[in-house]
């Protein structure tokens, strides 16, 4: 709760101008707080030269009224101004959650030239898209992204905020959650609503995939999750859908960061503290590495190799079958650790989560950490010499035998049919 | 250069077994280790100290037995080790953990760099590092696989899904590091003996030893709660194809044609 210490307040009104949420006004030369509008962002406390404002966080935690939080919000991620697949997966999933709660679904995109993304997000189910365009936001940067998104969250108060569990999403999510003092659940693989309380049930793997845990954030808002790419189903886009688009402007150059939403009759000032923007941190270069052709998340067919391939050269057999099926090559952690194949091919808890139509596991024992990354595949085929290997417990079709005999036969057969 | 490293003692999840009947984890007999990426953080801190001079302080929050992890960190070359251990910390989620660690780091005084492992193998959240950086209002670089220091600036290689970026920021900063940054050294036997013989090599701090708001600690202060846990299962019977090699391959191709996937 924000308190005004009346004895110290001189009536200078600096705080009134500083407040981004119109939550302060002067009455009889003393600042008065409108508690319905106050988000306890603390900007006024910092601005007051007379220490006449203080935040009493203790009572704010226990007495927080969450009823003014409504809606589901997806923080969409672009790279090179193109939306990442996970963002559309999240909008599709967010639509289901919003329908269940009977609330609106919004999406936020930051970038330099991103107007086209709004239609895509609306086609997948967003009711409202907030765009923040600036050359300085072209590439993800922790400081400015955190400040801007925190401001948008504080202003529009969604009850649920979803981010993709990409490297950037996992950099940004915790930073936002610490700033607004709410909970964040990482790497969710399933989201649902508990009907009784209307709260988000966030399910994720733990202990290297040995255990699934459902996490809730009952008393803090928003409830935040990062969601693993490739897990949620992307809906078919419907371009006849309509939705609102708001462009938000943040002036990232001046010391006093001023910002506003333009193109709408009402101008909403969003004012991050410039000291929190951390514009000093800069990206010197971004290097795309040659192996970007490994696109396991999008592959319909994946042929994966484990220790059973025997030696680094053994992967040629796997690669032949993958190319015969027009699929991609995957690998277990063991062989990536051995250096037999690049990290980009790794499937599993510490690698990629995949759900192709067909997953062929060759010489992979099926440790839990591997299964965590592939067991949602439509059809799993296991080939292993050890009939007791755990991979046979999760497969649809199993062949006990030597992959070096079986895989070449499969390649031959498919080459003939395809 | 003053460097702080945050570490966590974790069960070796590769050794965790499942009680299929009860659907729970069997933790008994599972060895406790320093989280692998935290070891890389310690190694990087010690290497920078060796190059630039200074001091490495390792901090961990955990039960009393987490002291073993700090002995190992000390034996790898850390100068100071602090275990934050108090019943009041129990049940902390990442938010409360980050708060507690941040307050302890403030108590240790000025610092130039903080290293954390990207994520712990028991939780895999990767949240505590960035949350500590936020609490201390310093920049962060996550997924670091290369570090260069020039005066008061740090230039780091940050791993991305399809390559990497090179990021420059000002010290003090927090870095979370990933596998591949370095090869952690073996702990020195002499320093292990030192750690056990000299008192106060590993300090233990309770809530009385540093400034904390007791309402921000442990389970009660944690925004997230565990609602349920279960062991993942797949709900169908696998079909093992029999016959000689040719027959097995033939059967498989027939099945895939039936499923209309090829």
Of residues A78 and B232, more confidently modeled:
A78
Question: What pLDDT shows up at residue A259?
Answer: 38
Which residues of chain B lie closer than 8 angstroms to A400, CB-CB?
240
Mutation target among B96, B148, B165, B174 for the A interface, most CBs of A within 10 A: B165
Higher pLDDT, A35 or A156: A156
Residue A282 lies in a domain: no
Residue A272 and residue A237 share a domain: yes
Alpha carbon distance A162, A395 (integer Å): 32
Asked if A83 and A208 sit in the same domain, the reply is yes
Nearest chain A residue to B122, by CA: A207
**Residue A209 domain-assigned?**
yes
Asked whether the beta carbons of residue A208 and residue B14 sit closer than 8 angstroms, the reply is yes
Q: How confident is the model at residue A23 (pLDDT cuts 50, 70, 90)?
A: confident
Task: Kindly tell me if the per-residue pLDDT of A262 is higher than 90.
Answer: no
Whether residues A255 and A318 share a domain: the answer is no
User: What is the arithmetic mean of pLDDT over A187-201?
Assistant: 95
Which is nearest to B83 in space by CA: B101, B98, B95, B99? Answer: B101
Closest approach of B182 to chain A, Cα-based (Å): 14
- Residue A276, pLDDT > 70, answer no
Task: State the ipTM, two decimals.
Answer: 0.91
Reply yes or no on whether the pLDDT at A358 is more than 50. yes
Q: What percent of chain B has pLDDT over 70?
A: 94
Contact A283 B225 (CB under 8 A): no
- CATH number of the domain encompassing residue A30: 3.30.70.20
Comparing CB atoms, the residue among A171, A398, A409 nearest residue B238 is A398
Report residue A7: phi and psi, to 5°.
-60, -35
pLDDT surpassing 60 at residue A57: no
State the nearest Cα–Cα gap between B126 and chain A, in angstroms. 7
Inspect the interface and report whether the beta carbons of B239 and A396 lie closer than 8 Å: yes
Is A375 close to B253, i.e. CB distance below 8 A?
no
One domain, residues A237 and A264:
yes
Cβ-Cβ contacts under 8 Å between A and B: the total is 241
Do A261 and A127 fall into the same domain? Answer: yes
pLDDT reported for residue B261 = 74
Pick from B25, B128, B163: which is nearest to A207 by CB?
B25
Which residue in A214, A282, A401 is closest to B245 by CB distance? Answer: A401
Residues of chain A positioned with their CB less than 8 A from the CB of B141: 281
Q: How confident is the model at residue A410 (pLDDT cuts 50, 70, 90)?
A: very high
- Both tokens assigned to B72: 């190992």
Most B CBs within 10 Å, among A178, A278, A365, to test the B interface: A178
Enumerate the residues of chain B whose CB falls inside 8 A of the CB of residue A344: 162
B16 contacts A210? CB cut-off 8 A: yes
Name the residue with higher pLDDT: A377 or A21: A377
| Shared-domain flag, residues A140 and A264 | yes
Please state, in angstroms and rounded to a whole number, the distance separating the CA atoms of residues B119 and B207.
25
* Contact (CB<8Å) A393/B238: yes
| A283 within some domain | no
pLDDT tens digits, B10-62:
988 777 776 666 656 676 778 899 999 999 999 999 999 999 999 999 999 99
* A365 contacts A391 by C-beta, under 8 angstroms: yes
pLDDT tens readout for residues A294-347: 788 888 999 999 999 999 888 999 999 999 998 999 999 999 999 999 888 999
* Confidence grade of residue A136 (pLDDT, cut at 50, 70, 90): confident
Confidence at residue A42, expressed as pLDDT on a 0 to 100 scale: 67
Q: Is the pLDDT of residue B198 over 50?
A: yes
Q: How far apart are CA A369 and CA A210, in angstroms?
A: 7
Query: What pLDDT is stored for residue A303 in this prediction?
Result: 96
Domain coverage including residue A354: 290-417
Average pLDDT over residues A208-222: 89
What pLDDT was estimated at residue A418?
54
Do A101 and A76 sit in the same domain of this protein? yes
Same structural domain for residues A272 and A140? yes
Q: Which of A141, A167, A408 to mutate to test the interface with B (most CBs of B within 10 A)?
A: A167
Across the range B204-232, mean pLDDT stands at 91
The pLDDT tens digits for B68-123 are 999 999 999 999 999 999 999 988 999 999 999 999 999 999 999 999 999 999 88
Q: Which long-range contacts (CB under 8 A, 24 or more apart) does A318-324 make?
A: A318/A362, A318/A407, A320/A407, A320/A408, A320/A411, A321/A360, A321/A362, A321/A407, A321/A408, A321/A410, A321/A411, A321/A414, A324/A410, A324/A411, A324/A414, A324/A415, A324/A418
Structure tokens at A401: 């035998």
Asked if residue A229 lies in contact with residue A84, where contact means CB atoms within 8 angstroms, the answer is yes
Distances from the Cα of A229 to the Cαs of A221, A226, A236, in angstroms? 24, 9, 17
Of the candidates A30, A65, A33, A71, the residue with the CA atom closest to the CA atom of residue A50: A30
pLDDT above 80 for A161 = yes
Q: What is the pLDDT of residue A417?
A: 66
- pLDDT single digits (tens) A376-400: 888 999 999 999 999 998 999 999 9
Can you tell me the distance from the alpha carbon of A186 to that of A194, in angstroms, rounded to the nearest whole number?
19
Question: Which of A254, A277, A300 corresponds to the end of one domain?
Answer: A277
Q: Do A210 and B155 touch (CB under 8 A)?
A: no
- Give the model's pLDDT for residue B95: 97
Number of domains in chain A: 3
Q: Are the beta carbons of A401 and B14 separated by less than 8 Å?
A: no
Among residues A62, A92, A110, the one where a domain terminates is: A62
Place of tokens 């049919």: A417
- Chain A residues near residue B18 by CB distance under 8 angstroms: 210, 368
User: What structural domains and CATH numbers belong to chain B?
Assistant: 2-219 (3.40.50.620)
What pLDDT does B25 receive?
A: 65
Task: List CB contacts (< 8 A) between A350 and chain B.
Answer: 124
Mean per-residue pLDDT over chain B, rounded: 91
Q: Which residues of B touch A138 (CB under 8 A)?
A: none
d(CA A406, CA A394): 20
Mean pLDDT, chain A, rounded, equals: 86
For position A313, which CATH number holds? 3.40.50.1220
Nearest CA in chain A to B228: A214
Lowest mean pLDDT among A63-77, A85-99, A327-341, B12-26: B12-26
User: What separation in angstroms does the CA of A217 have from each of A3, A43, B178?
Assistant: 27, 26, 29
Q: What is the pLDDT of residue A268?
A: 39
Residue A14 pLDDT? 84
- Interface contact A207-B13, CB threshold 8 A: yes
B19: which chain A residues are within 8 Å (Cβ-Cβ)? none
C-alpha B207/C-alpha B257 separation (Å) is: 65
Q: Put the strands of the sheet holding A190-194 in their side by side order.
A: A190-194, A199-206, A211-216, B225-230
Dihedral angle sign, alpha carbons of residues B122, A354, A202, B175: positive
Number of neighbours of residue A99 by Cβ within 10 angstroms: 13
Say which of B124, B130, B259 has its CB closest to residue A379. Answer: B259
Mutate: best of B135, B249, B253, B260, partner A, most A CBs <10 A: B249
A46-60, A98-112, B7-21: which range is least confident on average? Answer: A46-60
Q: Which of A143, A178, A367 sits opposite B95 (nearest CB)?
A: A178
Minimal C-alpha gap between B129 and chain A (Å): 8
Of B14, B165, B256, the CB nearest to A283: B165
| Domain end marker among A277, A312, A346 | A277
- Chain B partners within 8 Å of A404 (Cβ): none
- CA-CA distance, A83 to A248, in Å (whole number)? 18
> What per-residue confidence (pLDDT) applies to B189?
94
- Could B127 and A186 be called an inter-chain contact, meaning their C-beta atoms sit closer than 8 Å? yes
Structure tokens at B2: 């003053």
In whole angstroms, what is the distance from residue A179 CA to residue A150 CA?
8
Q: Do A181 and A41 have their domain in common? A: no
Provide the sign of the torsion angle of the four alpha carbons B160, B164, B168, B174, taken in this order.
Answer: positive
Could you write out the DSSP letters of every residue in B3-33? EEEEE-EEE-GGG-EEETTTTEEE-TTPPEE
Q: Do A400 and B240 touch (CB under 8 A)?
A: yes
CA distances to A166, A295, A345, B179 from A291, in Å: 18, 9, 9, 19
C-alpha distances (whole Å) from A383 to each of A207, A358, B249 are 26, 13, 11
**What CATH number is associated with residue A230?**
3.40.50.620
Same-domain pairing of A216 and A300:
no
CA-based nearest residue in chain A for residue B10:
A207
C-beta separation of B248 from B241 below 8 A? yes
Q: Same structural domain for residues A264 and A347?
A: no
Dist CA A362 CA A409 (whole Å): 13
Section A9-37 average pLDDT: 82
Query: What mean pLDDT comes out for the span A279-292?
Result: 72
Least confident residue range of A97-111, B148-162, B173-187: B148-162
Tokens for A237, please give them: 């886009």
With a pLDDT cut of 90, the percent of chain A lying above it is 59
Residue B23: which region, alpha, beta or left (left: phi > 0; alpha: psi -120 to 50)? left
**Range with top average pLDDT, A38-47, A185-194, A208-217:** A185-194
Residues A271 and A361 in one domain: no
Q: Omega before A87 cis (within 30°)?
A: no
Tell me what pLDDT residue A351 has: 86
Q: Does A285 reside within a domain?
A: no
């Amino acid at each position: 709760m924000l308190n005004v210490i009346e004895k110290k307040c001189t009536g200078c009104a600096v705080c009134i101008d500083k407040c981004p949420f119109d939550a302060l006004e002067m009455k009889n030369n003393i600042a008065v707080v409108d508690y319905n509008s106050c988000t306890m962002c603390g900007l006024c406390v910092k601005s007051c030269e007379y220490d006449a404002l203080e935040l009493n966080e203790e009572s704010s935690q226990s007495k927080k009224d969450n009823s003014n939080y409504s809606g589901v919000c997806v923080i969409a991620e672009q790279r090179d101004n193109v939306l990442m697949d996970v963002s559309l997966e999240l909008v599709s999933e967010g639509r289901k959650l919003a329908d269940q709660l009977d609330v609106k679904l919004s999406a936020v995109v930051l970038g330099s030239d991103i107007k086209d993304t709004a239609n895509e997000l609306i086609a997948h189910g967003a009711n409202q898209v907030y765009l923040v365009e600036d050359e300085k936001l072209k590439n993800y940067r922790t400081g400015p992204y955190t400040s801007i998104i925190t401001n948008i969250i504080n202003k529009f108060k969604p009850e649920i905020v979803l981010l993709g569990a990409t490297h950037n999403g996992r950099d940004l999510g915790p930073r936002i959650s610490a700033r607004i003092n709410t909970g964040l659940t990482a790497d969710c693989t399933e989201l649902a609503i508990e009907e009784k309380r209307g709260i988000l049930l966030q399910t994720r793997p733990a202990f290297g995939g040995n255990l699934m845990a459902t996490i809730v954030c009952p008393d803090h808002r928003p409830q935040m999750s990062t969601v693993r790419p490739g897990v949620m189903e992307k809906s078919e886009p419907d371009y006849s859908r309509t939705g609102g688009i708001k462009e938000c402007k943040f002036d990232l150059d001046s010391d006093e960061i001023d910002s506003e939403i333009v193109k709408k009759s009402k101008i909403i000032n969003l004012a991050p503290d410039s000291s929190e923007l951390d514009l000093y941190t800069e990206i010197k270069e971004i290097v795309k590495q040659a192996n970007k052709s490994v696109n396991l998340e999008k592959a319909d067919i994946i042929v994966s190799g484990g220790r059973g391939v025997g030696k680094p050269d053994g992967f040629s057999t796997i690669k032949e079958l993958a190319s015969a099926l027009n699929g991609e090559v995957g690998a277990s952690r063991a062989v990536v650790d051995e250096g037999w194949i690049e990290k980009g091919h790794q499937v599993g808890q510490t690698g990629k989560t995949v759900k192709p139509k067909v997953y062929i596991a060759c010489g992979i024992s099926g440790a839990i950490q591997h299964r965590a990354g592939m067991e949602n595949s439509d059809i799993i085929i296991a080939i292993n010499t050890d009939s007791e290997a755990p991979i046979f417990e999760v497969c649809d079709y199993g062949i006990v035998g030597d992959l070096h005999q079986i895989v070449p036969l499969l390649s031959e057969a498919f080459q003939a049919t395809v | 250069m003053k460097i702080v490293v945050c570490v966590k003692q974790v069960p070796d999840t590769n050794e965790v077994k499942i009680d299929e009947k009860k659907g729970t984890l069997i933790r008994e007999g599972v060895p406790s280790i320093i989280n692998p990426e935290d070891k890389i953080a310690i190694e990087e801190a010690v290497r920078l100290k060796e190059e630039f001079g200074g001091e490495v302080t390792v901090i961990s929050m955990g039960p009393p037995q987490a002291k073993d992890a700090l002995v190992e960190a000390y034996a790898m070359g850390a100068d100071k080790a602090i275990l934050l251990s108090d019943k009041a910390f129990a049940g902390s989620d990442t938010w409360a953990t980050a708060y507690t660690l941040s307050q302890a780091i403030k108590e240790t005084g000025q610092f130039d760099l903080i290293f954390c492992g990207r994520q712990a193998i028991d939780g895999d959240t990767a949240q505590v590092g960035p949350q500590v950086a936020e609490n201390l209002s310093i920049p962060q670089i996550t997924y670091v696989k290369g570090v260069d220091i020039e005066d008061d600036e740090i230039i780091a290689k940050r791993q991305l899904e399809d390559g990497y970026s090179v990021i420059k920021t000002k010290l003090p900063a927090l870095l979370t590091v990933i596998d591949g940054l370095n090869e952690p050294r073996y702990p020195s036997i002499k320093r292990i003996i030192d750690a056990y013989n000299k008192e106060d090599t590993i300090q233990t701090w309770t809530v009385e030893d540093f400034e904390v708001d007791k309402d921000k600690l442990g389970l009660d202060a944690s925004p997230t709660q565990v609602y349920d846990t279960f062991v993942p299962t797949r709900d169908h019977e696998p079909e093992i194809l029999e016959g000689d090699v040719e027959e097995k391959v033939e059967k498989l191709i027939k099945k895939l044609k039936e499923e209309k996937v090829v």
